[in-house]
Amino acid sequence: MAQLLNKTVRRSEVPVEQTWNLEDLFSSSYEWESELIAVKEDLKLLKVFKGRVIENAATLLACMNKKDALTERLGKILAYASLKQSEDGTNPENQANSSRVGGVYSLFNKETSFIQSEILQLDEEKLKLFLADEPELQDFQKVILDVIVTKPHKLSPDAEEILSAFSEVHQAPYMIYQRSLISDLSFPSFQTDDGESHHLTFNTFPNYEGSPNTDLRRKAYKAYTEKLSQYKHTYAATYATEVKKQVIESRLRNFDTVTDMLLHSQQVTKEMYHNQLDIIQKELAPHMRKLAKLKQRVLGLDTMKYCDLKAPLDPEFNPSTTYEEASKIILKSLEVMGPEYIAIMEEGLNNRWVDMADNVGKGSGAFCSSPYGVHPYILMTWSDSMRNAYTLAHELGHAGHFRLAGRYQRISSTRPSRYFVEAPSTMNEMLLSQHLLSMPNDKRMRRWIILQSLGTYYHNFVTHILEAELQRRIYKLADEDTPITAKLLCEEKTSVLSDFWGDSVELDEGAGLTWMRQPHYYMGLYPYTYSAGLTASTAAAKQIQEEGEPAVQRWLEALKAGSTLQPLELMQLAGVDMSTPEPIKTAVAHVGSLIDELEELFH
């Protein structure tokens, strides 16, 4: 493979081997365009079922099959447009097509809303009779039951259809936030004390944030947050619109609070939700404060500032690796998962599922998109750092999960609750760390591996759980009709950070702007689910280490189950009981043990 690009270039200049292969979705934009038109036309075929969905078992089955087929086709159309937008958000054609598919998605929701409304007229007894008449309906049993249990919160069929017609408008806050961040927000270059000028973008800031050079790290942070601050009132208004939308909908649907509505869709109890937030913040804070103090001592910092939290503890030790070398290590670490899983990993690594180069307009961070009936796509920015191997392993965990779920389930039964979604990805990270720690390592390398594991826990148990705590507070205020402003968001975010870090970290005005940096606030109660997934994978990875094959098989069965089980049942199938606080406490204690060992290794 050609050497990865070390400067931001235009998309057209990126070598093809560093890009994902969207031709596996559509051979050309022309083919995509034709399918877009065809799907809009074929939506009319569903009208034959209107008023007849639950006429008999055969009609219900035919309707569900037809909807699944159209959902699969629409999913490919949406994925193609979304991935094109992610690879280059500055391209006007990509922007336009992204908006166009939003309109088709809105039309799809409108044209299919009657199906749920009519299924709501079913009761469980009649469904049992239908299942006896048409055994193939068993494939849709949980999908149908999930609709029936929403009955107390459904509006009239006409109202549901009108609400569905506004789905594109309802997505506007997130679209505006993303469009501004990727296409319009331009950061200034900044100068360090040595007189050198540095280029700053939304995608390059994380590299500066993790720089061993304190002056570089702090100057980048200052330039970054000062620019964000100029947009805080606009972004606050955008987020406030998202929250207000949810408040209005929760009231229309007769939920007591926004949180009740969002947890209902996840099939998660309030006890499970609050356990994640309360236990982790209370029991993890002392461990993380200890880590902050260790970092301050080792790095010789007079003050531990918020922008220093991601500074490397061993600045001169940053193992490098190529994509090819990292791929081999990842595959070796995942051998325990068996041949079917490994075959998926090999395909993903070798067949251009991964888009790895940096270019102008490319989306930030990393994600895995998994259109049903094709294969997953992974976006990341590769920089020949061993840390990239963890990011790649993480996203491959998502890919393996949805590849297996798609192989064994219908499209309507592939997506489990968000409560479970981050478990397969963090499992891959756990197995990678276990593998690396089992190899002969000197003291320095062992420290580095432990730091990577702590990076995963920091991401999920600190960054995202503190996002979730801000959400919990903002939703409570919004339910009380408190106006959501930039001032409020900054004050609440600073308060969340202060409660967690205490006096171990100095917080500044920029720390209060952290809410501007993540898109998760536009995704409902998503942030806390990262911690739920990591809690489950921590427990299951330990079982795999101790039991071997039986634990692996439990895990694979959970991946293959898709959304055919409630999240609590799904985790129990994997061998983890989240109905108690114990897995959370155990995971936090594991983090504490890593920090204790790290402290010993730095003596």
The Cα–Cα gap between 179 and 238 comes to 12
Is the pLDDT at 2 greater than 50? The verdict is no
Mean pLDDT of the chain: 94
Residues forming a β-bridge with 379: 355, 367
Residues of the chain with pLDDT > 70: what percent?
A: 99
Please report the pLDDT score of residue 401 as a whole number: 98
Q: Which helix (H) or strand (E) holds 368?
A: strand 367-369
Is the pLDDT at 6 greater than 70? The verdict is no
Sheet holding 377-379, edge to edge: 354-355, 377-379, 367-369
| Each residue's pLDDT tens digit, 279-300 | 999 999 999 999 999 999 999 9
Q: Which CB contacts under 8 angstroms, 24+ apart, belong to 220-228?
A: 220/190, 221/307, 221/510, 222/190, 222/510, 223/187, 223/188, 223/189, 223/190, 224/187, 224/200, 224/510, 225/509, 225/510, 225/513, 226/510, 227/185, 227/187, 227/188, 228/510, 228/513, 228/516, 228/517
Cβ pair 212, 315 in contact under 8 A: yes
Is the pLDDT at 24 greater than 90? The verdict is yes
Closest CA to 471 of 524, 417, 531: 524
Kindly indicate the confidence band of residue 64, based on its pLDDT and cuts at 50, 70 and 90. very high
Residues forming a β-bridge with 355: 379
Please report the pLDDT score of residue 3 as a whole number: 43
| Each residue's pLDDT tens digit, 198-251 | 999 887 898 899 899 999 999 999 999 999 999 999 999 999 999 999 999 999
Is the pLDDT at 7 greater than 80? The verdict is no
Closest CA to 540 of 591, 575, 587: 575
Kindly indicate the confidence band of residue 549, based on its pLDDT and cuts at 50, 70 and 90. very high
Q: Which residues contact 255 (CB under 8 A, 6 or more apart)?
A: 153, 261, 264
What DSSP designation does 463 have?
Answer: I
What predicted TM-score, i.e. pTM, was given to this entire model? 0.85
Please report the pLDDT score of residue 38 as a whole number: 97
Structure tokens at 346: 């090999």
Is the pLDDT at 4 greater than 70? The verdict is no
User: 506 — phi, psi (to 5°)?
Assistant: -85, 120
Report CA 43 to chain centroid distance, whole Å.
Answer: 30
Is the pLDDT at 5 greater than 50? The verdict is no
| Each residue's pLDDT tens digit, 318-331 | 889 999 999 999 99
* Residue located via tokens 């207000």: 244
Is the pLDDT at 365 greater than 90? The verdict is no
Taking CA 23 as the corner, what is the angle to CA 365 and CA 370, rounded to the nearest 5 degrees?
Answer: 45
* Residue located via tokens 């536009």: 522
Is the pLDDT at 8 greater than 80? The verdict is no
Kindly indicate the confidence band of residue 106, based on its pLDDT and cuts at 50, 70 and 90. confident
Is the pLDDT at 40 greater than 70? The verdict is yes
SS3 385: strand
Cβ pair 510, 222 in contact under 8 A: yes
Is the pLDDT at 108 greater than 90? The verdict is yes
| DSSP, residue by residue, 260-303 | HHHHHHHT--HHHHHHHHHHHHHHHHHHHHHHHHHHHHHHT-SS
Please report the pLDDT score of residue 181 as a whole number: 84
User: 564 — phi, psi (to 5°)?
Assistant: -75, -5
312 compared with 278, residue with greater pLDDT: 278
Kindly indicate the confidence band of residue 160, based on its pLDDT and cuts at 50, 70 and 90. confident
| Each residue's pLDDT tens digit, 401-418 | 999 999 999 999 999 988
| Each residue's pLDDT tens digit, 467-509 | 999 999 999 999 999 999 999 999 999 999 999 999 999 999 9
Q: Which helix (H) or strand (E) holds 238?
A: helix 232-252
Mean pLDDT of 89-96: 92
